[in-house]
Amino acid sequence: MFGIKKIKLNQKLDEVSNILKKSNLEEMAYILGSKKQIIVRNFFAGISRGVGIGIGVTVITAIIIAIMRKIVTLNIPVIGKFVSDIIDIVQEKKYY
Q: State the 10-residue block means of pLDDT for the chain, 96 residues long.
A: 69 83 72 78 93 96 87 75 81 74
pLDDT on residue 89: 86
Is 73 part of any domain? yes
Is 22 part of any domain? no
Domain that holds residue 66: 50-96
Q: How far apart are CA 94 and CA 96, in angstroms?
A: 6
How many domains are there within the chain? 1
Cα 37 to Cα 21, 23, 42, 47, 48, distances in angstroms: 22, 20, 8, 15, 16
Compute φ and ψ for 76, nearest 5 degrees. -80, 125
Is 80 part of any domain? yes
pLDDT on residue 43: 94
